[in-house]
Structure 1
Amino acid sequence: MTPLSSVFTDALPLTPEAVAAEQSIEEERARIAHDLHDDLGGDFVSIKMAVAQLRKGLEQAGTASDMLNERLAQIDTRVDAALASMHRLIDDLRPAMLDFGIVAAMEWHASEFTRQCGLPCSFTSDISGTDSEADSEADSDADSDADLEGDSDAGSNITLAPHRAMSLFRIFSEALTNAARHAHASQVKAHLTLDGAQLQLTIEDDGTGISAQALQNPQSRGLRGMRHRVLTLGGTLMQQAPTTASGTRLCVRIPLL
């Protein structure tokens, strides 16, 4: 098991200020995502409703023409495209599925990854959890105590702070992106489990593996990005021997708190 941080020359622990700055960035991303959804999304929906009302009014007045109908259809199509772009931006800032918890978000992302990339990705977990502090307040004290004890049996529950859930999700996403771009794999498997007071995420593919040159390359942005996020969470990122003849197996461990 090889710690990936050791291959980078700048593998130094992040200062509390740097960690706080990273948390602030994630919180700002979440705020912008919500603002886009509530404000800009509402405006686009209003435009679509106005176009539909205008089309209906023209038809009732008998003043509709092929040219006007075509122009209205073009406006409607452009608004739909703008809405789709807005939703992609929102998902890049903070995927809405995180509102349902880190496990649900990773399940969704694995499915979307398979659909979009054509590379089969299976995600499994023996835990469930949310990233909502409000949800955690609704749990009983006994349940909360049991969560933090870290029972890894099926059905264990966890609660992650929103910025920690977002960072873990981005690590997972970057690992899948690397597998699709560089690994030449035929499948990817990921598993999320609870080990004591730490979350452990394992991502494995059956591709060509990570070369020593790639590990030592300071321009390997994917690994550097994952490592940086892991450090902000006070965790570790390690490369393990894959269970197949070739491929890559990454193990991410982060504390719950």
Structure 2
Amino acid sequence: MPIVPPPATIFTPEVFPVMQRAYTHKAMKAKKHTDTSAAVATEVLGADLAFEVPLSSILDALPFYVLLLDEHHQILQANKAVLEQSGLTPEAILGKYCPKVVHGADGPWYCCPLEEAVETGQPVEREALDEGSGRWMRSAIYPTKSFTREGSRIYLHVVFDITDTKTGEAALRASREQLRELSQFLESVREEERTNMAREIHDELGQILTALNIELSWLTGRLPKDEELLHRKAEAMSELANSAISTVKRISSELRPGVLDDLGLADAVEWQTQEFSRLTGIKVRFSTSPEHIVLDRERSTAIFRVCQEALTNIARHAEATRVSVSLKKSATRVSLRISDNGLGIEEWQIRDPRSFGLMGMRERVRYWGGELRISRGANKGTVVAVSIPLEGKEDLVAENTDCG
């Protein structure tokens, strides 16, 4: 049966430099080697220091496994955590095969980092699910500059249980995914409400105003020609009706542009850039490849709304005079890039938790397994780059039990 090391509640990589500087015994200074494993560890980790503390007490105070191995997995030293968890005596552990003691395996553990450390001479750290115990482990190997009497390099081996951390991370990912699903559901509900409202406003209110304008035109044509005041009033009423019709069309388009559903994403984005240029006076260059891009309703909505929010931010904050918008579709992804020559976004603005517009953009893209990058331009201005996969929703929270 494999043994499970206790959780490492205080472990950090900084432990090892401290351990390396922690102890030099007078006997080691005098090069008086002994046959004890503690002496081997002292030779490996010792360094000149003003105070003297037995190295074994330092290692035994650590709540996770600390071992010294040779390149053949033979245990040269083990701390108290290994002894207590295994129930073995030092004599029963020293010289034994490490995978057998730690993992209950007759051969190297499937994610053992020792072979790579021996080959590269560099520290190796891995995280993996221990199949024997069903627990997540972090296993690390750190090559030392010391050798055994037989000429084998000595390696510092650290193993600790990270199951609680992994469980917490999985719960956090699941919680975030639930929030993302809820956010997407609320967005879809809002889009549906916008669509219904836009249709009602356009079809009902728009038709009524159009009919009213027709009736006003009929009435104006039948007014006495010498009644100048009445003619002016009728014309003013007709202008008001036309203005109301234009307002209805604008509100309807802002709620849900019909071109997005009727003609597709590329035409909708182009329409949006034209409206933006007309309202702000900022010149916009739009390009698309291929010319007509039609996606499913949900992805089209996500990209269109990101474009809409980015253009709104430019109008409010950028003080730009030129904007470039490009939309591209490949075999697997659709990408949108928006850049301007304005003031340029600051790093703190990108990370500001109160930037709800940017947060909404990120969540729209992240839901589909896409990427959103917001950065300051090389010279000035801001660049917003979006990329979303076309097929399926990528599983961002799938756990992987392979070596990490």
For Structure 1 versus Structure 2, the TM-score category normalised by the shorter chain is: 0.7 to 0.9
- % same residue: 33
Q: Where in structure 2 are the equivalents of 1:173-188 lying within 5 Å? A: 173-188=308-323
**What is the rounded CA distance, in whole Å, between the counterparts of 1:225 and 1:17 in structure 2?**
13
- Check whether the contact 1:94–1:166 (CA below 8 A) recurs between aligned residues: no
Name which of 318, 333, 341 aligns with 1:198.
333
Aligned partner of 1:79 in structure 2 is 241
Q: Tell me the TM-score normalized by structure 1.
A: 0.74
- Check whether the contact 2:184–2:364 (CA below 8 A) recurs between aligned residues: no
SS of equivalent to 2:328 = strand
Residue 114 (str. 1) matches residue 249 (str. 2): no
Tell me the matched-pair count: 215
Which shows bigger deviation, 227-236 or 167-176?
227-236
**What is the rounded CA distance, in whole Å, between the counterparts of 2:180 and 2:273 in structure 1?**
33
Cα shift at 1:241: 6.2
**What is the rounded CA distance, in whole Å, between the counterparts of 2:202 and 2:188 in structure 1?**
21
Which structure has more helix as a fraction of its residues?
1
**What is the rounded CA distance, in whole Å, between the counterparts of 1:15 and 1:112 in structure 2?**
31
- Check whether the contact 1:199–1:254 (CA below 8 A) recurs between aligned residues: yes
**What is the rounded CA distance, in whole Å, between the counterparts of 2:221 and 2:278 in structure 1?**
38
Letter in 2 for 1:190: V
Residue 88 (str. 1) matches residue 246 (str. 2): no
Aligned-residue RMSD, C-alpha: 2.3
**What is the rounded CA distance, in whole Å, between the counterparts of 1:29 and 1:163 in structure 2?**
14
Letter in 1 for 2:289: D
Q: Tell me the TM-score normalized by structure 2.
A: 0.49
**What is the rounded CA distance, in whole Å, between the counterparts of 1:84 and 1:216 in structure 2?**
39
Query: Which runs of 5 or more structure 1 residues have no equivalent in the other structure?
Result: 1-10, 130-157
**What is the rounded CA distance, in whole Å, between the counterparts of 1:253 and 1:110 in structure 2?**
19
**What is the rounded CA distance, in whole Å, between the counterparts of 1:106 and 1:86 in structure 2?**
21
Structure number with greater CO (CA < 8 Å, separation at least 6) is 1
Letter in 1 for 2:387: R
Residue 252 (str. 1) matches residue 383 (str. 2): no
**What is the rounded CA distance, in whole Å, between the counterparts of 2:232 and 2:298 in structure 1?**
46
**What is the rounded CA distance, in whole Å, between the counterparts of 1:213 and 1:252 in structure 2?**
20
**What is the rounded CA distance, in whole Å, between the counterparts of 2:334 and 2:199 in structure 1?**
27
Taking a change above 3 Å as real, the CA distance of residues 173 and 18 of structure 1, as seen in their structure-2 partners, is: closer
Structure of larger gyration radius: 2
Aligned partner of 1:67 in structure 2 is 229
Q: Where in structure 2 are the equivalents of 1:188-227 lying within 5 Å? A: 188-227=323-362
Name which of 346, 371, 387 aligns with 1:236.
371
**What is the rounded CA distance, in whole Å, between the counterparts of 1:33 and 1:234 in structure 2?**
29
Cα shift at 1:20: 2.6
Cα shift at 1:178: 1.5
